[in-house]
Structure 1
Amino acid sequence: MRALGWKQCDIILVSGDAYIDSPFMGVAVVGRVLERAGFNVGVIAQPMNEEDIARLGEPRLFWGVSGGSVDSMVSNYTASKKFRNDDDYTPGGKNTKRPDRASIAYTNLIRRVFKPTVPIMLGGIEASLRRTTHYDFWSNKLRRPLILDAKADYLLYGMADNSVVEFARALEKGEGIEAVQGLCYVAKAPKEGYLTLPSFSACVKDPLVFMEMFDLFYHNNDPMSAKGLCQEVDGRYVVQNPPARYLTPEEMDEVSALPFTREAHPCDLAQGEIRALETIRFSLSTHQGCYGECNFCAISVHQGRTVRSRSEASIVEEATQLTQHPKFKGIIHDVGGPTANMYGYECAKKFKKGTCEDKTCLFPFTCKAMPVNHARQITLLRKLRALPKVRKAFIASGIRYDLIAEDKAHGEAYLKEILEHHISGQMKVAPEHIDDEVLSLMGKPGKASLVRFKALFDKLNPKKQFLTYYLIAAHPGCEERHMHSLKEFASTVLKMNPEQAQIFIPTPSTYSTLMYYTGRHYLTRKPIFVEKEMGKKERQKQIVITKEHLAGRGRMDG
C-alpha cells in the first residue's frame, strides 16, 4: 500500500486459503475484476488473530469474506467426522490455519477489531451452499442461513464476477444495492413479488416441509427463469435476489486474460509449499457450469446448470502464456472444467429460456435437445498439442463416459484422441455405483452406459492403459447388498478389484443430502433406507475394496 501510494484499501478480501493469484481461485478472480474496475483491493489470507485481520486497516467500501475454495467443514473433516491433518491450500500442507465455519469465524474477527465497520459481504462456495436453511452434517441439524449465523450484512452467491463490481460501484455512488442480482440480505418484511419459502421453524418441525422448501430453492437457480426468494427466520426475512446473469464467452475470455501471476504470495510461500499451486499453476479452465445435475454434487447450485465455454483462441493464448512462465516444463496439467467433455456445446433453449423444470439433461437418458458434440474439444486439444514447448496437455478433470457414447459423430474419435495423447497410464471415470436402484437416487444413468463405454475403451486402447473407477459407498438408498452387487460387477464385468471408494459426505444444498437428512426419496417422498452409523458406512466401503476372497467370506458370515 505504501509503495502504491494508497492511504486505504477500497475493499479487503479475507480468504480461508493461502493467496494464490490464479484464475482457479475465487478470491483472486474477484480481486482482479475489482482491480480492473478501478478499485484498490487488499487480500488477507488465513487470518489467525486480531493482529492479522488489522494488518491492512479498515476498507473504505466493504469487506469480502470467503471460507476458501472448499466449504471449511468439508475441508476440515472426513466422512467419519475425523479431523483432516492435511490441507492443500495451506502453506506446508498441514491443516493448521482454517477454522471450522470459517465465514463465521472471520466475520466475528472483523467485528471484534473494527466496530462499527463498513458492510461485510460473504461469498464463495461456503456462502453459496449455505445461503438458505440447510442441513449441516457436522452438527446433524438444520442450520439457519449463513448470513444470519455470521451476522454479515450481505451475501453474494454463485459466480460473482459481474455482480461484485456492480455492488462495489453502487456503494461507491451511494446508490441502492438491494437490486444487485445474486445478492442476499436481511429485511424486516418479505419483498413484494418474491416467492416465500417455508420458514426456518417450519422446516425444523417437519422434514416434508423442508423438502418442499428445498425444491423451491433448487428450481430458482437459473438467471433466465429464477424468481426472487424470501424466507422468514426468527422474525426476520432473508431475501435472495435472482441469480446474476452468466458471463458471455467474450466476458469469460476477458477475465481469463487478467494479469494473474499464477504464483502464491511471497508471505505464504515463505511458510512452505502449497500443494494446490502445483496442481493449478499450469492448468486451463475451458468452461463453467455443468448440466449433469448429479444429486450429490453442488455445482448446479453454485456454478449453474448451463455450460458456458471460452473461445478456443482465448484458451490457446492462455496456454501460450503458460509456456513463457519460467517454471513451465512442457506439461499442461489439466484442460477442463467441472466436466471436461462438456466444453463447446449446450442446449440452445437453455440460453434463451433457462433450464427445464420438468426434466434434466442427462438423467435418466440424454435429452434429445442436447447436441452432444466433441468436435470443438478435439480441435482445441490438437491446437494445444501443436504449441511450441508443449510436450503434453493432460485432462485431469472428470469425463462423462455416457456422453462419449451419445456422440455418434465424434465420440469414438474423442476417446481415441485422449487415450493417445491426453492421459498417462490410466483413465479415471466416475460411475459412482452400478446398481440401477442406487444410480437413480444419485441422478446417474444406468450401468448399461458404463458397459458400452468399457467395450469402446478396450477396443481403442493401443497403449493398454488402465481404466480406474471412482465409487461411492453409503449413499442414501444404498445397502450392503448393493455394495456386494457392485463388488461382483467389478470382478466379473469390469475385471478388476476396486482399491478406492469414498463414503458419501452430505454436503450442504444437494438432493442427496436432502435424502440423507429426511430418509425420503427426493421425488416420491417415500421412505428410503439411509445408513447413518459410521461403522456400517465403513463396512459398505470395505465390502467393495476388500480383496475378493475376504469379501466373499464377509458375505457368508454376515
Structure 2
Amino acid sequence: MSNRKPLSLPLWNEQYAAPFAPTTFQEMKDRGWDCVDVVFVTGDAYVDHPSFAMAILHRVLEKAGFRVAILSQPDWKTVEPWRQFGKPRLFFAVSAGNMDSLINHYTANKKVRNDDAYSPGGKIGLRPDRATLPYSQRCREAYPGVPVIAGGVEASLRRLAHYDYWSDTVRRSILMDAKADIVAYGMGEANIIEIARRLQAGQTVKDLRDLRGVAYALGGRESQEQFGPESQPTAFETQTPTVVIPSHEEVKADKAKFVEATRLIHQNTNPFNAARLVQFHDKQAVVVNPPAFPLSEPEMDEIFDLPYTRRAHPSYKEPVPAHEMIKDSVTIMRGCFGGCTFCSITAHQGRIIQSRSPESIVKEVRKMSADPDFKGVISDVGGATANMYQMRCTRPDVEAKCKRLSCVHPTVCKLLGTDHGPVIDLMKKVREEDGIRKVFVSSGIRMDLAQLSPEYVRELAEHHVGGRLKVAPEHTSPDVLALMKKPSIDNFGLFAKQFKEASTAAGKPKQFLVPYFIASHPGSGLPEMIDLAVYLKRNGYRPDQVQDFIPAPFDIATCMWYTGVDPMTGKPVPIAKGMRDRKSQRALMQFFKPANYFEVRDALIEAGRADLIGNGCDALIPAQPPKEAIEARRRQANGAVQGDHYHTVANPAKGEPAGERGAESVKSKGYRPNRKSAKRRPGKKKGDGADQQR
C-alpha cells in the first residue's frame, strides 16, 4: 500500500477510497509493480462501484493481498492487449460483463440495440458477441499454461447444455467452446479468493475441482474413469451425491430430454441439498458442483465496506450510462426467493436472501455524503427486490431440505419470515443521516409481501417514492401468471388501492404506480394479450415501454418456449414464436399509439374480437384509422422500398460509373463449381476440353 498515489478526488477525505486498479502497463509501473497476480478481463467499462462485478472482485482480491489489473473492453481482434501487463502470476479472470453479451447487443426481435449502457457514452461494438469465448481464447494465446477462470452471468447461465435463442439451437456447455479451465458460477467473491490462495500455494487447476460453485470439463479418459459404467466413487462423491442428467446429444435431439434436464438442474439449486450434476458431451463429462453457500451478514459487510471510489475510471471522456443510473444507489441485499421462471436473478444470485447489517449500510451512506459531488439524494436503497431485506426461512432445518423453487408461489410459505420491521427501521436510519435530503426505493418491490405490512406501504408512500413506484404484475391471464410463478392480477389491484390510500394520507395524492408487463411470454397468445390490453384501458395504464420476453439461457421459461412444455409439471404450453405474433402482442400492449392501429386491428379481427373496434367503452381502437396511423403506414411503406431494394440511375457526366447506383457493390462470384472469382483461369479458353469435361 506504500505505492499508492493520491487520488484526484478534490475535497474528499481519502480515507474513504483506494486507487483504481491498473488498466495499462504504465499505470502498473506507477504502482511500483513489476507484475500482477490476476488480470481481470471484462466486457464492461471499468467502474469502481459495488454494483459492478469487476470492482467487487478487484477489491476483495486486493484486500487479500493480491495485485490485480483490469483489462476493460479490450480489442479482441488482437492478442496484444492481453500481453500488456506481462504474464499474470496466478490466473486470468474472464467475464463478459454485468450482462449477457447477446442480451446486451440484441433486442427480443434480434435487432442490434442502439446503445450499450455499460460502455462510455453508450457506444456499441466495444465487446464481441459471446464475449467469454474470444476473451478466453486470447488469454490462452497470450500466455499458454496460465489458468483461465471464467465467471459472470454469461458463463454461469451457460455452464451446461442450453437453448440459445440467437442461433435457435441447443448449444454445448460454454466449457466445451471456451478455453477456460473452470467456470466459477454465481456470485464469485468467496471462490475467487480461494482460487487465488490455492494457486499461490502451488496447487493446480485440477486441485480446484472440489470447490463449490464451480463447473469444469473432464477429458474422455477421466470421464470414463470417474463416471463410466465401471467407475469407482471418490471420497468427494460419497459426501456429495451425483446426478447424471441427459447428455448434450440427447437434449439436442429430443425435446423431452431437454425438459428432463431442465427439471433436474433446477431441482438442484439449493446449496444445502443440491447434488453434483454431470452432463456428457460426446465422451467428455461436464461436472457442476453444488452452488456455493450463501454469505453471512459479516461476509456481506466485509465486501461492501471496501474502499470503492464509486467512480468510472478517469480515462473515460464520456459517462457510462449504467454508472450514471446507479452511482448514488445503495445495495442492501442480494438474492431472490420469488423464483420467477423468466428471471435469471435467482439462478445467479441464489434463492436465499443475503443481507448487510444496518451499520454497514449507514457507513456507506456516510461515505457518500462526504463526497462533494453527492447531491444528497440516494436514488435507490434496495437490491433484486427491495422489501426482501433480512427475510429468510424461519426453520433452518426445513430450509436445508426444501426443494421449492419459490417461497411465495402459489402462496407465501408459512415458514417464510416476512417481517418488514428491519427494512422499515433501515429506511428511517438512512433518511435521518446528515447530508441526506431524499431516499428513494426504485429497484422494485414484491407486492404480495408488501401487502402483509401496511406500515411498510405507508412509509414507502410517505418518504421513499419520487412520484411513481415501479411494480411488476407482468400479466393478467391466470394461466400465464401461473407459468411465471407470479400472483394473481387481483393482487396488483389490491396493492394499487392500498398504495393510493397511503399516498393520499401522506398528502401525495398524485403519486402513482408504474406497472411492468411482458409480451410473448410462454402461454400468452392473442386472446391473453387482448385481455391484458382491455385491462390496461379500463385502469388507465399506458405503458411507455414494452418488455418483450427474451428466452435467456438456463431459465425455466426458456425451456417452455423452446419445447412447448412446462418442465416442472410436464404440461404443454402454447408459444408465440413467430415474429408476426410477437409484433402483434407488442402492439396490443400499446394499442393507444396511432402507429399500432393497423397491427391491433388485424390482431383483433384474427382473434374474433372485432367488438373491441369502434366507440364502445372497452373498444381499443376506433372504427376508422386516425390520420397519424395512415401517415405511419405510408412512412413504413416508403421505407420498405428504399436502400438496397432499388437503385437510381447513375449520371456518367458526373463521373459516376454507368448503370444503377449501388449496383456496382454487388459482385459476381462466378457460376462454375469451385470457382472463387469470375476471372478465367490462365490458359483456359471458352470451349476448351477442360471446360467441357466439367
TM-score, length-normalised on structure 1?
0.95
The aligned residue for residue 34 of structure 1 is 61
The aligned residue for residue 260 of structure 2 is 212
- Is residue 225 of structure 1 aligned with residue 273 of structure 2? yes
- Is residue 86 of structure 1 aligned with residue 115 of structure 2? yes
- Is residue 524 of structure 1 aligned with residue 569 of structure 2? yes
| Partner Cα separation in structure 1 for residue 336 and residue 178 of structure 2 | 30
The aligned residue for residue 111 of structure 1 is 140
The aligned residue for residue 210 of structure 2 is 179
Listed one character per residue, the Cα deviations across residues 169-206 of structure 1 (whole Å, up to 9, x for unaligned) are 11111232221111111112146332212111111111
- Which of these two proteins has the greater Rg computed from alpha carbons? 2
User: SS of 1:293's equivalent?
Assistant: coil
- Is residue 236 of structure 1 aligned with residue 284 of structure 2? yes
The aligned residue for residue 377 of structure 1 is 423
Deviation, 1:417, is 1.2
The within-5 A match list for 1:331-480 is 331-350=377-396, 353-354=399-400, 356-358=402-404, 360-405=406-451, 407=452, 411-462=453-504, 463=508, 464-480=510-526
| Partner Cα separation in structure 2 for residue 359 and residue 82 of structure 1 | 33
Of 389-398 and 215-224, the range deviating more from structure 2? 215-224
| Partner Cα separation in structure 2 for residue 352 and residue 161 of structure 1 | 27
Listed one character per residue, the Cα deviations across residues 386-410 of structure 1 (whole Å, up to 9, x for unaligned) are 01110111111111111112x2xxx
- Is residue 285 of structure 1 aligned with residue 331 of structure 2? yes
| Partner Cα separation in structure 2 for residue 393 and residue 372 of structure 1 | 23
TM superposition outliers: structure 1 runs of 4+ over 6 Å: none
The within-5 A match list for 1:169-318 is 169-175=197-203, 176-187=207-218, 188-189=222-223, 190=226, 192=233, 193=237, 194-267=242-315, 269-270=316-317, 272-318=318-364
Unpaired runs of 5+ residues, structure 1, are: none
Q: Tell me which of 179, 185, 210 is aligned to 1:151.
A: 179
| Partner Cα separation in structure 2 for residue 50 and residue 359 of structure 1 | 43
Q: Cα–Cα, structure 1 residues 289 and 133, in superposed 2: closer, same or farther, change >3 Å?
A: same
Listed one character per residue, the Cα deviations across residues 434-481 of structure 1 (whole Å, up to 9, x for unaligned) are 111110111111112112111112212221212111110000110011
Deviation, 1:365, is 1.1
User: SS of 1:396's equivalent?
Assistant: coil
Deviation, 1:222, is 2.0
What amino acid is the match of 1:265?
H
TM-score, length-normalised on structure 2?
0.77
8 Å contact kept, 1:416–1:460: yes
Identity of aligned residues (%): 41
Of 355-364 and 467-476, the range deviating more from structure 2? 355-364
| Partner Cα separation in structure 2 for residue 375 and residue 42 of structure 1 | 42
The aligned residue for residue 126 of structure 2 is 97
Deviation, 1:53, is 2.1
- RMSD between aligned alpha carbons? 1.7
Listed one character per residue, the Cα deviations across residues 478-511 of structure 1 (whole Å, up to 9, x for unaligned) are 001101111112222x333333321100001110
8 Å contact kept, 2:380–2:442: yes
8 Å contact kept, 1:224–1:352: no
- Is residue 65 of structure 1 aligned with residue 111 of structure 2? no
Deviation, 1:141, is 0.7
Deviation, 1:52, is 2.0
| Partner Cα separation in structure 1 for residue 170 and residue 529 of structure 2 | 29
8 Å contact kept, 2:260–2:567: no
Deviation, 1:50, is 2.3
Listed one character per residue, the Cα deviations across residues 135-174 of structure 1 (whole Å, up to 9, x for unaligned) are 1100111111111111211110111111111111111112
- Is residue 52 of structure 1 aligned with residue 81 of structure 2? yes
8 Å contact kept, 2:184–2:215: yes
| Partner Cα separation in structure 1 for residue 545 and residue 387 of structure 2 | 24
Q: Which has the higher contact order (CA 8 A, sep 6+)?
A: 1
| Partner Cα separation in structure 2 for residue 240 and residue 259 of structure 1 | 34
What amino acid is the match of 2:36?
C
User: SS of 1:181's equivalent?
Assistant: coil
8 Å contact kept, 1:79–1:504: yes
- Is residue 10 of structure 1 aligned with residue 32 of structure 2? no
| Partner Cα separation in structure 1 for residue 202 and residue 494 of structure 2 | 60
Corresponding pairs, count: 550
- Is residue 533 of structure 1 aligned with residue 581 of structure 2? no
Deviation, 1:360, is 2.8
| Partner Cα separation in structure 2 for residue 514 and residue 392 of structure 1 | 43
8 Å contact kept, 1:497–1:548: no
| Partner Cα separation in structure 2 for residue 358 and residue 88 of structure 1 | 35
| Partner Cα separation in structure 2 for residue 552 and residue 90 of structure 1 | 36
8 Å contact kept, 1:306–1:355: no
Of 140-149 and 411-420, the range deviating more from structure 2? 411-420
Listed one character per residue, the Cα deviations across residues 203-238 of structure 1 (whole Å, up to 9, x for unaligned) are 111111111111111122222111111111121111
| Partner Cα separation in structure 1 for residue 580 and residue 54 of structure 2 | 38
Q: Cα–Cα, structure 1 residues 359 and 111, in superposed 2: closer, same or farther, change >3 Å?
A: closer
Listed one character per residue, the Cα deviations across residues 47-100 of structure 1 (whole Å, up to 9, x for unaligned) are 113232222122111100000000000000000000112011101111120110
8 Å contact kept, 2:467–2:512: yes
Deviation, 1:117, is 3.1
8 Å contact kept, 1:104–1:150: yes
Q: Cα–Cα, structure 1 residues 100 and 548, in superposed 2: closer, same or farther, change >3 Å?
A: closer
User: SS of 1:68's equivalent?
Assistant: coil
8 Å contact kept, 2:270–2:403: no
The aligned residue for residue 687 of structure 2 is none
Unpaired runs of 5+ residues, structure 2, are: 1-27, 228-232, 607-694
- Is residue 542 of structure 1 aligned with residue 590 of structure 2? no
8 Å contact kept, 2:73–2:127: yes
8 Å contact kept, 2:259–2:565: no
The aligned residue for residue 106 of structure 2 is 77
8 Å contact kept, 1:503–1:538: no
Listed one character per residue, the Cα deviations across residues 242-301 of structure 1 (whole Å, up to 9, x for unaligned) are 11111100110011111111111222x23x211111122211100010000000011121
Deviation, 1:350, is 4.9
What amino acid is the match of 1:108?
Q
The aligned residue for residue 674 of structure 2 is none
